[in-house]
Chains A and B, each alone.
Chain A
Amino acid sequence: MRETPILIRHVALALLGLIFLAALNADWLAPAPYEQQFRAETNSRPSAKFLLGTDHLGRDRLSRLLYGTRVSLLLAPAASALSLGIALLAGGSAALAGGWWDRVMTAASNLFLSLPWLFLFLTVRSVLPLNTAPVTSILITFSLMGLLGWGAGARVVRASVLQIRNSPFALYARGFGCSPGRLWFRHLLPHLRTVLLAQFWISVPAFILGEASLGLLGLGVAEPMPSWGNLLKELQSAPAWNEYWVFAPVALLSTVMILFQLSRPVSQKVSPV
């Protein structure tokens, strides 16, 4: 795979940063509270009062988009970091320990990749206390995604650790009596940095889309809190195609996906220090 030119990466990162900043400052930038219903102005077109119009309940679309972006863009990286941590632990320990532990971890990652986790989300939603706050509910949703989404990452980490474990520099270190802990933290982990970063960059958009899919099924963020998932859900009612502004969440989601792809480090080569 070709590396993205450095300038394009920087521009992409800058744009992503801007979107993050806008989402973080939704309290100041949003023209209205995201839950406020202007019932006399439902489904209105963009105007000076509502820059992206209003939704079916008369809520300001721009405000909901800003707050929804905050929810999705903050929590998806957190879930991604969680899953990466588990992947590192599972994949790394499997490659280093080998034997039965390797077989158990490989089987576990295969299992996590193959099971239909939608049913778990359905079950969790049905057993959660009914008065769970929307914020708690979304934290649980993203945590679950993080806890369940480590399978693919663990495979990549395991393969990379297997590759560098037998590299000359690792053999020399072991030959000079380096302890397993020091070997791992001082010599192997720095070499996994690019792999882990690439994995992180890949899984953030996957979790964003995951939440969007759950939102489409009504399992994501509870009303009235917005997220990209429940903003996209609105499109299920097939708006008229000339009402282009209702596609703003799709446009933003696509832009963010592209920016993530452009800004992620591609190189996964392992080279001795």
Chain B
Amino acid sequence: MISRLWIAAALLCSPVCGGGELRFVLHHEPKTLNPLAAAEDAAETIRYLTGGVLIRLNRLTQELEPELAQSWKVSGDNKAITFQLRAGLVFSDGTQFTPVDVAFTVSQMLDPALHSPVADTFTVAGVAPKVSVDGPQTVTLTFGAPVAGKERLFDQLAILSARSPLKERASLGPFVLDSYKPGVELLLKRNPHYWKRDVAGKQLPYLDTIRIPIQANREIELNRFRAGELDLMNNIDPESYDRLAKAMPGVVHDSGPSTDVEFLWFNLAPSSPVPQYKKDWFQSAAFRHGISAAINREDLCRVVYRGHARPALGPFSLANKFWFNAKLTSQTFDPARGLKLLESAGFQKKGDVLVDRAGHPVEFSVITNTGNKARERMAALIQQDLQAIGIKLNIVTLDVPSLLERLTKSSDYEACLFGLTNVAADPNELMNVLLSSGRQHAWNPSQKTPATAWEAEMDSLLRAQASAGSRAKRKELFDRVQELMRREEPYLFLVNRNSLSAISPKVQGARPAAFYPQTFWNIERLSVK
């Protein structure tokens, strides 16, 4: 009788009561374990696994879900957001969770000494948000100006305890840090006080531990996965994906376009040391359109990404279900049209060389970061595409510090091939890239006043969407921003690579998503057989 009960219990528990240990690698050392200071992938991964947040973005549905806050309400003027917190929650060390912890976390995040990357996104019009504790479970954040869509920011804000002696190591997330051997590995164990339960009433997370070795070499990572030493791999490159698909067909997942976008832009900064005649080329929209039409994006996807990519249409990929502008059509590869556009701007082909009105042969350099195989290969393909219409492209690969020095300080470059990874889910998080005053407005950063009429129009549309009352209105305004970007092509959007991952058959409950962290976004519901 007892053995029958055991069998029945085992069947009922399967597959979600597995517990066990999950193993995947970090490609570099986390620079900090303070969740408020996390600025790179490794630190963000630890924050995701250990941090408790007020609101969580469901990576699959892309909808916001209540976490530590059981509900929230945005004020009519879009300036304040009030959270109703769950009662009776405790940190991993048993300390009570109260609204004071939220106020403490926000004040810590805004501390200039911490240099928290999240702080910038919370600061609106140069004014930091104010926090008020309105009741035993109620807390309100008031921003300096009306901003729509701010709720999403709370997905990145891990709440700290104001009173725990463990400080930031007291966690409200599903896991806590058990041990850390610098350069070797991190071991996380389940948070015994984690508040969430599954439908059957079982406390989450299912996993007992997560072992995270630090392993920079992707090839070794792949071999360890094949040997069964690892259970998950995120962001696999297309070559490894295809090799793995041949060797272990059931474990690879192509989740379609990721949020990453690769693009090329010309230096439009008036103060750059680029010769004036080249500045005139780059300022011409017809020149940019001509170049864009001569680039074979389908080949970039097929040759460089082995078919695991799609031509990009704008800053948001198809993965971003709400904000992607479906009306945008893909840029067709048509070198003859490209040449016509260039001729309309005063260029003409003399023999095999395209020259401008003054007879300068059209030649420019494109910089990209060394060691990024995909970008180096894309540059080589673009080089041949442009050669076909008489343009000479010089490819220069630079180490990242030298590249950033040219992009952000000296402005000494002509064109750049680069990309954005883990692109935010909401346009407001791209304001520093899209607004003409933004420091990351790549083609002409930190403008005091918009240099062109179309940038002024873009700024006003971006600001209007940021304070619009309804999501539908925001969408309508941001669609126009995307159309404007397509019309002017300050960025020549190239490809959105697919989100490629591998999950061991031992892992139960995995549902890979396009958004970071692709394979373990639902970590509390994963288990290992």
Chain A residues with a Cβ under 8 A of chain B: 35-37, 39, 42, 56-58, 122, 125-126, 130-134, 217-219, 222-224, 237-238, 240
- Given contacts A223-B379, A223-B383, is CB(A126)–CB(B402) below 8 Å? yes
Report whether B377 and A56 are in contact in the complex, using a CB–CB cutoff of 8 Å: yes
| In the bound complex, CA of A188 to CA of B405 (Å) | 52
Report whether B396 and A222 are in contact in the complex, using a CB–CB cutoff of 8 Å: yes
| In the bound complex, CA of A222 to CA of B376 (Å) | 10
Which chain B residues lie closer than 8 Å to A223 at the CB level? 376, 379-380, 383, 395
Q: Does B120 contact A (CB under 8 A)?
A: no
Report whether A58 and B303 are in contact in the complex, using a CB–CB cutoff of 8 Å: yes
Report whether A57 and B381 are in contact in the complex, using a CB–CB cutoff of 8 Å: yes
Report whether A42 and B303 are in contact in the complex, using a CB–CB cutoff of 8 Å: yes
Report 21 cross-chain contacts, Cβ distance below 8 Å, ordered by A residue.
Answer: A36-B384, A39-B302, A39-B381, A42-B303, A57-B303, A122-B399, A125-B398, A126-B402, A130-B365, A130-B412, A131-B363, A131-B364, A132-B394, A217-B370, A218-B376, A219-B370, A222-B395, A223-B376, A223-B383, A223-B395, A240-B243
Interface members, chain B 378-396 (any A CB < 8 Å) = 379-381, 383-384, 394-396
Chain B residues with a Cβ under 8 A of chain A: 219, 239, 243, 299, 302-303, 363-365, 367, 370-371, 373, 376-377, 379-381, 383-384, 394-399, 402, 405, 412-414
Report whether A130 and B383 are in contact in the complex, using a CB–CB cutoff of 8 Å: no
| In the bound complex, CA of A132 to CA of B365 (Å) | 9
Closest to A130 in B: B365
Which chain A residues lie closer than 8 Å to B395 at the CB level? 222-223
Q: What is the CB-to-nearest-CB distance from B500 to chain A, in angstroms, rounded to a whole number?
A: 15
Question: Could you list 20 further interchain pairs (A-B, Cβ under 8 angstroms) beyond the known A131-B364, A237-B373?
Answer: A36-B384, A37-B380, A42-B303, A56-B303, A57-B303, A57-B380, A57-B381, A58-B303, A122-B399, A122-B402, A130-B365, A130-B367, A130-B396, A131-B365, A134-B394, A218-B370, A218-B371, A218-B376, A222-B397, A223-B395
Query: Which of B219, B370, B373, B413 lies in contact with A130, CB distance below 8 A?
Result: B413
- Given contacts A130-B413, A218-B371, is CB(A35)–CB(B303) below 8 Å? no
Which chain B residues lie closer than 8 Å to A240 at the CB level? 243
Closest to B371 in A: A218
Which chain A residues lie closer than 8 Å to B399 at the CB level? 122, 125-126
Report whether B219 and A238 are in contact in the complex, using a CB–CB cutoff of 8 Å: yes
Which chain A residues lie closer than 8 Å to B303 at the CB level? 39, 42, 56-58
| In the bound complex, CA of A219 to CA of B383 (Å) | 19
Q: Which 8 pairs across A and B sit closest by C-beta, in order of nearness? A: A218-B370, A126-B402, A130-B365, A223-B395, A218-B397, A223-B380, A131-B365, A130-B396
Which chain A residues lie closer than 8 Å to B365 at the CB level? 130-131
| In the bound complex, CA of A22 to CA of B303 (Å) | 31
Closest to B379 in A: A223
Which chain A residues lie closer than 8 Å to B364 at the CB level? 131
| In the bound complex, CA of A98 to CA of B219 (Å) | 53
Report whether A222 and B383 are in contact in the complex, using a CB–CB cutoff of 8 Å: no
Q: What is the CB-to-nearest-CB distance from A24 to chain B, in angstroms, rounded to a whole number?
A: 26
Report whether B381 and A37 are in contact in the complex, using a CB–CB cutoff of 8 Å: yes
- Given contacts A126-B402, A130-B365, is CB(A37)–CB(B384) below 8 Å? yes
| In the bound complex, CA of A57 to CA of B296 (Å) | 13
Q: What is the CB-to-nearest-CB distance from A200 to chain B, in angstroms, rounded to a whole number?
A: 32
| In the bound complex, CA of A165 to CA of B208 (Å) | 77
| In the bound complex, CA of A121 to CA of B421 (Å) | 29
Q: What is the CB-to-nearest-CB distance from A93 to chain B, in angstroms, rounded to a whole number?
A: 37
Which chain B residues lie closer than 8 Å to A222 at the CB level? 394-397
| In the bound complex, CA of A126 to CA of B400 (Å) | 10
Report whether A126 and B398 are in contact in the complex, using a CB–CB cutoff of 8 Å: yes
| In the bound complex, CA of A58 to CA of B398 (Å) | 25
Closest to A230 in B: B376
Closest to A133 in B: B394
Q: What is the CB-to-nearest-CB distance from B93 to chain A, in angstroms, rounded to a whole number?
A: 45
| In the bound complex, CA of A25 to CA of B317 (Å) | 49
| In the bound complex, CA of A269 to CA of B76 (Å) | 94
